[in-house]
Structure 1
Amino acid sequence: MANRISDIFASHFTSPASRLNLCLFAGVASLGTLILLRSTSGSLESDRPEIIPSPAQTILPCLSGEEKRALPYPPDALRGARDVDSPYGSVRLYEFGPEQGEKVLLIHGISTPSIALAGLAHQLVERGYRVMLFDLFGRGFSSGPDPSTHRYDSALYASEILLCIQSSPIPWTSFTLIGYSLGGAIAADFASYFPNLIKGLVLVAPGGLIRTKHITWKSKLLYSTGGLIPEFLIQRLVARRLWTGPETTRTIEPEPDGQASPLNDDEPKGGLRSRAVYITSHLGLLRDNPNSTASTVVDWQLLHHQGFVPAFISSIRYAPIHNQHHRWRIVAQNIEKGVGELKEVWLVLGDADPIIIAEELIEDAREVLGEKKLRVRIVKGAGHEVAIDRADEIVEVVDQALKEQA
């Protein structure tokens, strides 16, 4: 398998668009490439800086303007781009829309950066909203702390959100928070700690209450922190599972238990155990950029973002994905006590989602939030990619949520 991966990468590097990849070899090799090609055993831990740079520092300086525009994720992908410096690294952020509009902050999932929600952001702005979206640490054009010194946990992600909103030229003291997949888990967690900032909370196919019964022993072993598997080998295995190459259909939230394959009726569903192939792998993420799909963007991060795989692994280990009932109960308690403006929590779920099982999440969310504090929108025919290809449904939810808040 390692030889096959090497052959795929070798073919990729000799393609007509090879200049970008030659730039990689000429100066700054990405960790994503190294962990796929490196045949020697031995840890990379001592080679990594405390702050892992993003492609903005390692790759973009080598490219012409035309080459930058041809990337799956070009640096000018969305309006209002800025980079926010912090002790944890630099954060790429986009903020645009009417300054007087209702403010909406969007948080993306575990593997695709903020441009996965570009369609949703554009639709919100067209409705008059002011939007902000950013690349989580270790994704897209955000650098990030080395996971060996900083866990990708609730504290780190809450700090990133606060860094982003304080960087705005206008006050973000009351806003609607939309979180997708991992971003949904982060959004619910953040709302439990900072209720006075949250006016609306929309969780789209969110983590947080994923039942641990869906985690197989293979995933537990792969993402364990007990040192049973050397870290360099874990990184290599995870990268190999995430990578499929430009001609292969892939998942947007890849399955860490094995190679992705179509889900059949007999296959267990839920959480990390699912092995679904999502149709959005071939759908465009950016307007007027046919090269930008979930598949190409994830593969691009593997090739050119040194921190992507370490951030992915640390997020699986430490982010608030499972067993967050206590934090969600605090959200309910704050609503009950009138702390902040939030009055109800919205769930937007695809009825065909093999990752977040709608029936399970609704049952568990009702238990911790209560019937009166929970609103649910089931999107017929949608899978886990609901935030990408059914953005219009989410915009309707935001409209309704804010209308009922008034």
Structure 2
Amino acid sequence: MPCLSELSELSEHPAFRLAFGVAGAACFGTFVLWRSIHGSLELHGPPHIPSPRDAAMPALSEDEVRQLPYPSDALPGARDVQSPYGSTRVYEWGPADGRRLLLIHGISTPSIALTGLAYSLVERGYRVMLFDLFGRGYSSGPSPSTHQYDSALYTSQILLCLQSSPIPWTSFTLIGYSLGGAIAADFTSYFPNLVEGLVLVASGGLIRTEHISWKSRLLYSTGGLLPESLIERLVAKRLWTGPVEARSIEPEIATASTSSSSDHDEPKGGLRSHAVYTSSNIVLLPENPYSTVSHVVDWQIIHHQGFIPAFISSIRYAPIHNQHQRWKKIADNIRNGTGKLNQVWLVLGEIDPIIIADELVEDAQATFGEDIVHIKIVKGSGHEVAIDRASEIVDVVEQML
């Protein structure tokens, strides 16, 4: 074995230095590659976030399954549509030869929020399709670190749902509620040859940005001012209803200043966190006392790891604000005879604290033109108009078609 002096002399030899340098560079390169792969996995995470069906349901007891606010067999015609984005839960039923209606729910409550509307339409002879938006209900969803929950993602999801049907959906009416209305209008602007009717219920899309407070701008900013994990915790806390009255069941975008001492001091307007529904105890599924709006939201917070990230990404990137150009495109298509659509209906709650009826009517008429847009104001109803006043929407569909 060489002594220390021999090793010292050897270390000064040019060949030794070269070999040591190569070995060191190789080790460093291996370390950098490992960190790159490891860091990429930490940054981007899995390709999609599993739904409660895969992540939570297997661990539940029979009693817990019976008490689910959103059972996996909640509606007829259930199927799970697989895609590179993850799986989408779809429901489709009604006469196969009936006129087709695609229903899109809002940002926080999954497709069962439109249960009453769907059954009422089927009773009138229509074929209906509902689906859970990515990150809600029993749909998984792409990781927000790799995909934005924007127009492109939601358009892709709609097309995946349509192509999964055993019957052709080459002509249909779109009924969108809240965020679903914004998505429906956006989709229609790109695919005029598919959509023959458009009903926007308490719809986002033209919500005035003046209603966004500085706190909400900070909370949902994309500049990295707050750690994403902290944002998720704050949003989950604000959405959580627990055993008390619901505080927030829609986007946390408040109005003007939120520094007032009382919630009642806040002006109305915009997607905000307080007084969203007149009652959070509205039952969504007949004969299921556990299926209230608040219970379903809390269930998603607890059991769907993708719910809060999808919620946040939708606030940031979905077509909620400043969609005048896309809505004007719909009007241009109608006037040019492009596609099948010839009118647009808005159904609004008279006392909706999120979508202010007077504001949306003014902005929609300026964007569409009064000859294209038709308005129905539902007296005494708030943002839950699609849930508790389904008959009013059915009447609009009948009148339109």
TM-score for the superposition, normalised by structure 2: 0.86
Q: What corresponds to 2:164 in structure 1?
A: 167
- Say whether residues 1:70 and 2:96 are aligned partners: no
Displacement of 1:256 in angstroms is 4.8
Query: Aligned runs of 1:224-239 on 2, under 5 Å?
Result: 224-239=221-236
1:394 matched to 2:393? The reply is yes
Worse-matched range after superposition: 393-402 or 61-70: 61-70
Question: Is 1:247 matched with 2:251?
Answer: no
Name the residue aligned to 1:365.
364
Deviations 1:16-56 (A, max 9, x none): xxxxxxxxxxxxxxxxxxxxxxxxxxxx9548412111101
Aligned pair partner of 1:157 in 144, 154, 163: 154
Partner of 1:324: 323
Larger radius of gyration between Structure 1 and Structure 2: 2
Alpha-carbon distance between aligned partners in 2 of 1:307 and 1:117, rounded to the nearest angstrom: 21
Equivalent pair of 1:82/1:94 in contact (CA under 8 Å): yes
Q: Aligned residue for 2:56?
A: 59
Cα separation, partners in 2 of 1:190 and 1:262, compared to 1, 3 Å: farther
Cα distance change on mapping 1:151 and 1:63 into 2, 3 Å: same
- Report the equivalent of 2:334: 335
Contact 1:81 1:92 in 2 (8 A): yes
1:310 aligns with 2:318: no
How do 1:179-190 and structure 2 match up within 5 A?
A: 179-190=176-187
SS, match of residue 155 in structure 2: helix
2:296 is aligned with what amino acid?
A: V
RMSD: 1.8
Shift of 1:153: 0.1
Among 192, 196, 200, which residue is 2:189 paired with? 192
CA offsets 1:192-226 (integer angstroms, 9 cap, x no match): 00010001000000000000000011110000000
Quote how far apart the aligned CAs of 1:273 are.
4.1
Match of 1:201 among 187, 194, 198: 198
Aligned ranges 1:4-153 → 2 under 5 Å? 46=43, 48-153=45-150
Distance of 1:351 and 1:119 partners within structure 2: 20
Distance 1:62 1:273, change over 3 A: closer
Q: Secondary structure at the match of 2:284?
A: strand
Structure 1 residue runs without a partner (length 5+): 1-43
Which residue matches 1:380?
A: 379
Say how many residue pairs are matched.
357
**Does the CA contact (< 8 Å) of 1:216 and 1:273 recur in 2?**
no
Unaligned 5+ runs, structure 2: 1-40
Give the letter for the 1:376 counterpart: I
Report what 1:287 is aligned to: 286
Alpha-carbon displacement from aligned partner over 1:46-105 (angstroms, at most 9, x marks no partner): 484121111011111223555323200000000000000011010000000111111000
Distance in 1 of aligned mates of 2:66 and 2:161 = 25
Q: Which residue of 2 aligns with 1:346?
A: 345
Give the 3-state SS of the residue equivalent to 1:85 in structure 2. Answer: strand
Letter in 2 for 1:346: W
Q: Is the 8 A contact 2:241 2:248 kept in 1?
A: no
The answer to whether the 8 Å contact 1:271/1:356 transfers is yes
Output one character per residue of 1:364-395: Cα deviation in whole Å (capped at 9) or x when no partner.
Answer: 10111001101000000000110000000000
Contact map agreement 1:119 1:285 (CA 8 A) in 2 = yes
Counterpart code for 1:201? L
Q: Hey, what does 2:33 align to over in structure 1? A: none
Residue 397 of structure 1 and its aligned partner are, at CA, apart by 0.4
Q: CA deviation at 1:271?
A: 1.1
- Percent identity for Structure 1 against Structure 2: 72
Is residue 152–residue 314 contact of structure 1 (8 Å, CA) maintained in 2? yes
SS at structure 2 position matched to 1:240: helix
Q: Do the aligned residues in 1 keep the contact of 2:276 with 2:383 (CA within 8 Å)?
A: no
Secondary structure class of the residue paired with 2:133? coil
What is aligned with 1:38?
none
Secondary structure, counterpart of 1:201 in structure 2: strand
**1:333-389, CA deviations, whole angstroms, 9 ceiling, x for partnerless residues?**
110111111100000001100100111111110111001101000000000110000
CA offset digits 1:272-311 (Å, max 9, x no partner): 3462242241010001101001100000000000100000
Provide the C-alpha distance between the structure 2 equivalents of 1:280 and 1:262, rounded to a whole number of angstroms: 19
State the distance in 2 between where 1:373 and 1:53 align.
Answer: 42
Distance 1:297 1:273, change over 3 A: closer
- Relative to structure 1, is the Cα distance of residues 299 and 47 closer, same or farther in structure 2, using a 3 angstrom cutoff? farther
Q: Are 2:247 and 2:274, in contact at CA under 8 Å, matched by a contact in 1?
A: no
Matching residue's letter, 2:274 = R
Alignment partner, residue 40 of structure 1: none
